[in-house]
Amino acid sequence: MLTHFTSLDAIDAHEFSDLLAVALYLKRRRAWGVAEHALTGQTLAMIFEKPSLRTRLSFEVAMTELGGRSIYIRGEEVGMGVREPVKDVARVLSRYVQGIMARVFAHQSITDLAAYGSVPVINGLSDECHPCQALADMLTIREHFGRLEGLTVVFVGDANNVCRSLARACVLGGARFVVACPARYAFSAKDIAAFGSAWGGQVTQVHDPRAAVAGAHVLYTDVWTSMGQEAEKAERLQAFQGYQINEALLALAQPDARIMHCLPAHRDEEITDAAVEHPRSIVFDQAENRLHAQKAVLRLLMAKDAATVIAAARR
């Protein structure tokens, strides 16, 4: 049973498959207009140390539609690790609310919230990973291809938080994952060790994007400069030249390959405007699926009927 959603490293393939099944089930029921008030009377505290559009809004809407409420808290105001230790924030919040979602710089803050709090903790992005994004992405890929097994997902750009979670999600879902990145912005030895036996087979790393995308079903990218790395922007802009998703790269992939980006996108840096607007771009399906995927996370972590909803979703 899931207790937190902090990193996909802490989730097994069965739990991941349950989350996808529940997300699809809740998405379908929302389209039918069925109310799902499983979290009536519950509150989610949402701490944001970094800006957000999708994460904040999709969690707020998800909590509202599940019959609960959410409270947005600016990271500067709480000052986790500055005004007071994260472990104290975790214990205080646990006395007020039934769940905590946090977007942080240091992943350790997420780990500490989960270790010291007594309510479920959800990672809404850390410097290390973005599990909510990867769950929504796999939901989107499955909707477009009808399966995950046997697909090849190629990430072009920085082996960053989004890339790390996507790679892990591919392993959990049975897809192949290739990252094409400059050597300086590749997976670290620690990342490679965490992939275990998947590394070198199901997960591979190359430096030539053109070779990487041959046979790809999905071309995925994210910004070259993530939040918190602004001081490195100029050197990153230079280092990532040639690692752009554009129509020429798309032409080398499978004829039905899809283009994905977690957004926000920097048009004509990591992706061209034409690629974002391409008929095979599914970036807004991804954005929508953040809502459905996170509803599944909230439902399985915070509602009392997780087993029942999983059984219903799998019928």
Interface residue list for ligand NVA (CB under 6 A): 125, 160-162, 222-223, 226-227, 262
Instruction: Give the torsion through C-alpha atoms of 73, 75, 78, 84, to 10 deg.
Output: 150
- Quick one: tokens of 102? 């946090």
Q: In a 3-state reduction of DSSP, which class is residue 290?
A: helix
| Segment interacting with ligand CP (CB under 6 A) among 149-157, 185-193, 258-266, 267-275 | 258-266
Q: Work out how close the CB of 53 gets to ligand CP at its nearest, in angstroms, rounded to a whole number.
A: 4
Measured from the CB atom, the residue of 157 and 303 that comes closer to ligand CP is: 157
Q: How far apart are CA 159 and CA 174, in angstroms?
A: 20
Which residue out of 168, 222, 258, 294 is catalytically annotated? 222
Burial of 304 (0-12, 13-18, 19+ CB in 10 A): exposed
- Catalytic, 222? Answer yes
Task: Answer yes or no whether residue 263 interacts with ligand CP by CB under 6 A.
Answer: yes
Measured from the CB atom, the residue of 219 and 303 that comes closer to ligand CP is: 219
Measured from the CB atom, the residue of 8 and 309 that comes closer to ligand CP is: 8
Residue 48 phi/psi, 5-degree rounding, is: -120, 110
Q: Work out how close the CB of 90 gets to ligand NVA at its nearest, in angstroms, rounded to a whole number.
A: 23
Q: Work out how close the CB of 312 gets to ligand CP at its nearest, in angstroms, rounded to a whole number.
A: 29
Assign residue 47 a region: left if phi > 0, alpha if psi is -120 to 50, beta otherwise? beta
Task: Answer yes or no whether residue 53 interacts with ligand CP by CB under 6 A.
Answer: yes
Alpha helix (H) residue ranges in the chain: 13-31, 54-65, 75-78, 86-96, 107-116, 131-145, 161-173, 189-195, 209-213, 233-239, 247-250, 273-276, 283-302, 306-314
Say which entry of ligand CP, ligand NVA, none residue 53 contacts (CB below 5 to 8 A, set by partner kind).
ligand CP
Q: Work out how close the CB of 125 gets to ligand CP at its nearest, in angstroms, rounded to a whole number.
A: 6
Q: How far apart are CA 125 and CA 127, in angstroms?
A: 7
Q: By Cβ distance, which residue is nearest to ligand NVA?
A: 226
Cα 44–Cα 289–Cα 199 angle in degrees, nearest 5 = 100
Task: Answer yes or no whether residue 204 interacts with ligand CP by CB under 6 A.
Answer: no
Measured from the CB atom, the residue of 172 and 287 that comes closer to ligand CP is: 287
- Catalytic, 292? Answer no
Q: In a 3-state reduction of DSSP, which class is residue 45?
A: strand
* Total number of residues that touch ligand CP (CB under 6 A): 9
- Catalytic, 168? Answer no
Say which entry of ligand CP, ligand NVA, none residue 70 contacts (CB below 5 to 8 A, set by partner kind).
none
Q: In a 3-state reduction of DSSP, which class is residue 140?
A: helix
- Catalytic, 137? Answer no
Q: In a 3-state reduction of DSSP, which class is residue 246?
A: coil
Which residue out of 137, 262, 292, 294 is catalytically annotated? 262
Q: Work out how close the CB of 196 gets to ligand CP at its nearest, in angstroms, rounded to a whole number.
A: 27
Catalytic residues: 103, 130, 133, 222, 262, 290
